[in-house]
Structure formats: C-alpha cells, structure tokens
Structure 1
C-alpha cells in the first residue's frame, strides 16, 4: 500500500488479506451492499456532462453497484433525448468472482479484468473514471499515473464512498458494537496526493442516502466488510451475535424494516 493509503500504519499483510477478501462473498456483496444516489453520480460527472455521451470507466467496479447507477442514467437519458448526461460505460475489476457477478447481473456491460495500477484500456480512451468504495485499496503512487493515462485532458476522476451516518446515535452505537479486533479506527477516505501528478483541483461533496434494512440484512451487509471477512470463525460468530442482539434490542431497529442513514462522500479532480 502506498504512502497515500487510507490505512497509514496498518499491517501490510492484514491489508493484503482484507483487499482480496471480497470475492469469497461476491454474491452476498451484490445482494446486500447499497447502491449510490443519482445526485452523487451526477455531481461526480459534472465536469464532463457536456460531452455526449461521456465515456465512463467504473474502476474497481466490484459487482457493479456503481455501474448499475451509471446505466440507469443512460436509460433516463434515452427516454429524454434532450438529456446530456448519458454515459458509455466500461467496467474494470481485478477479482474474478466479483467480475463474474457483475457480468451475470449486467450482461450488456463491457466488463474487463484489470486493476487501477494496470488498466486494460488505451491512452486517452475515457472522459471520466468513477471509483465506488474502492479507491482506498489502490496503490495511488502507481494508480494515479495510470488513471491519468487513460483519461483525456480535462477528464474527471471521482471517488465515491457510502459511509454509515454515525452522527445518528443508534448508527454510532452499531459501529461500536460491530468493531472487531482488526477494525481500523478513525478510518477516512484517502487524501489524494496531487503534487507531481496530472491532476488538479480536488473538490468534495456529500449526499444523503439510505438503504432499507432489517436486523438480518444489516448483519449480512456488515458481514461483507473486509474486517469481518478476515476474522477467525469464533470471533465472527461472537460479533454476529453481538450485532444482532444490539439491532433487535434498539428501538429504531427492533421492529422489522428500518432505514439505514448513509452519507455518500464524493471526491473529484480533473486531469490537466
């Protein structure tokens, strides 16, 4: 992991295990993880929205959660010929199981194996790169030049993160209850080191989002987090029981479906 990682000071072997842990639960990830709000994606693509259609790379696309939102924007634009924000979408994902889920769920999408450090596209072939819930795993020292290579001048790079809104008291309590012995404390989206790169002008925005959950589906979502995926079975079992007990005994979450409040954080920058 590079000097620009979001996990400064973390054990490199633990990071490697966590980064490669998602494929084993790819189907659950596809079913349980939230998507992204349309407004956040529109803001991310704002600098290139006048290009009709913009060519967009979903990098580290996983099971296609963000890809699906991009395609929804295409459908909206097709229904409204005056819309200028349709997108020509390609997805790139390094994990074979995650990529298989994406291809099964979105068979019409061009979906390629590859990584942020080795993108299987030609120079200057896309107008925008969007990264959903993945940029913190990139080796940014290698990935930033590679992303700049495939972007056109003036193209946009945007990272999106769905964060449970722990300003809400019960969500903060859940975060504490769901912590494990390998959780990262004070996690944050990575700071992007632009000095000496082809990018400039970092901008930030936040968007309200949410997901309907039950105690069981909320636990299923938590079970797709990398720190849980890499736990030994005894601690995973204990954590599951602890979280379910909390959700079933907390007034906001104890009575069937509830809304998980999410803040979608977006960071965008442009290629020189």
Structure 2
C-alpha cells in the first residue's frame, strides 16, 4: 500500500467511530501481559488508541496508561468509555510526551498505519532504555472451516492479510518495526499468538466487518454487495445461522525491546 492509500485507509475510521466502539473486540489479556513482558505497573502508551479497546485491557491489568489517538471522533469515543484515562490527540509520528517518559508503547490493530521512518525515532524517544514496543492484532482463526469460508466470501477488504494467522506472521515479520538508523536502538523482534474469541450474532459480525478500513473506503454499492454476500454466507452455515456464537480468534503480538 502506497502512502496515499495508507492515509486514505487510516483516516477512514472516524466516520464509523460509534460502530467501531460497539463492535470491535477487546484483546486477550494473556497477549497484553506478554507484550508488557509480564511486568505490572508500567507506564504504558497506547499509540493509535482508537476508541480504547486496548486501553481498557491495559487499565484492567493495572498499567498506568496514556492514550494517543489522531482522529477526533475516535478520541471522543475513547474518552466517553474511559473518562479516567489521560487521552491526548497526537500521532505516532509526533507523540505529545516527553523523552524517556514511557516504559512500554503498545498499539492495537494500528501499527501498520504508522510511517515507521518517522514514528520509529519518535517511539524510541519516548521509551525509557529497556522499554518495550509491541503491536497487537486480533485475527480470525481461519484454521476453523467456517471462518476460512468467511474469509473467501468477504474478500481482502473485509478480511485482509493481517486478519488471519499465517499471513499475519508474514506481514508483520519485519515491516512494522523501526528501520534504518533507529533500528540499532531495538533488539530482535518476537512474535506470539494467544487464543481469543468474541461473542457475535450474524448481524453483529457483519457490523464488525463493516468497520474494516477496506470496507469503509469502498464505493457504497460495492460495499453493500460485499456485506450482502457475507450475510448470505453466515445464514447458510449451521454455526452462525441462528443466535449467538463465538467467533474463533487469536490475539497476535509482535514485541521488540529498546536497547
């Protein structure tokens, strides 16, 4: 994705902020603990915090959290959900925090939007020596047959390359970590995956997929056609046709430590 497309996609979420807050999943606590190095009480920056899905998990784990989010509508939803959290407007490329003030920088389903040539030095600046940078992604477990079918029907706009385990590992192996000169300030990256799930109905799963960036930037006629195919597929499967079900997921994490 080139820079213009990345900007278009990354700026699309504000229009769906309320739906995002309602339908996007939280993060597996085990994945967040691993991302933090299992150390409680850290000063943590949730960078690109959106509506606070990861922020809420960090708070539940006892972290001292500050959230930074560029989109005003998303930031409004975060502040509404978590009024006690310090939440600031800002971007990964211009973090409104002092040097060395943070023990860990975490990012939930957002690091792929960062311009790491600029954001990498900024993250290194706010991190204390020995601090952790980690990205987390919620992905659908397409090792389950009906989820694999959903991925085929939905297409890449609804279920993209970072939304299933195997391609997540490839996509995040090195492309979202600080590069060039600043890379020397970080150690070797680690990847890990943790079981997760979200209770959904067919309607709420469709609503969740409708908040994906690829869906939000799609022409309306094409978007409705894609959502219609997804609805029809879910109605055809015994696992999802009636009532609530658990969407099989993994929270996948990529972690690197500042030297």
Matches within 5 A, 1:43-82: 43-46=34-37, 49=39, 53-74=41-62
The corresponding residue for 1:42 is 33
Shift of 1:194: 4.9
- What is the TM-score of this pair, normalised by structure 2? 0.91
Gaps of 5+ in 1: 1-9, 75-86
Q: Describe the SS at the equivalent of 1:23.
A: helix
> Partners in 2 of 1:242 and 1:143 — Cα distance?
38
* Offset of residue 255 of structure 1: 1.9
Q: Matched residues in 2 for 1:262 and 1:110: separation?
A: 29
Pair 184,132 (structure 1): closer, same or farther in 2 beyond 3 Å: closer
**Per-residue displacement from partner, 1:183-226 (whole Å, max 9, x unpaired)?**
75556336225553211121111000000111000000000000
Check whether the contact 1:136–1:190 (CA below 8 A) recurs between aligned residues. Answer: no
Q: Specify the alignment match of 2:147 in structure 1.
A: 171
Larger radius of gyration: 1
Matched position secondary structure for 1:161:
strand
Moved over 6 A (4+): none
Task: Supply the distance in 1 between the matched residues of 2:28 and 2:222 (Cα, whole angstroms).
Answer: 34
SS at match of 1:200: coil
> Tell me, what secondary structure is at the counterpart of 2:155?
coil
Aligned residues: 248
Aligned counterparts of 2:3 and 2:114: Cα–Cα separation in 1: 13
CA-based RMSD of the aligned residues comes to 1.7
Aligned counterparts of 2:155 and 2:26: Cα–Cα separation in 1: 23
* Residue of structure 2 equivalent to 1:120: 96
Corresponding residue number in structure 2 for 1:235:
222
Q: Does the 8 Å CA contact 1:209/1:263 hold for their aligned counterparts?
A: yes
Contact 2:116 2:179 survives alignment (8 Å): no
Question: 1:126–1:155: 8 Å Cα contact kept in structure 2?
Answer: yes
Which residue of structure 2 lines up, in the alignment, with residue 82 of structure 1?
none
Change (3 A) 1:139 1:12: closer
- Choose which of 122, 138, 152 in structure 2 pairs with 1:146: 122
- The answer for the alignment partner of 2:164 in structure 1 is none
The TM-score with structure 1 as length reference comes to 0.87
Structure 1 residues 98 and 159 mapped into 2: Cα distance closer, same or farther (>3 Å)? same
1:189 is the counterpart of 2:172: yes
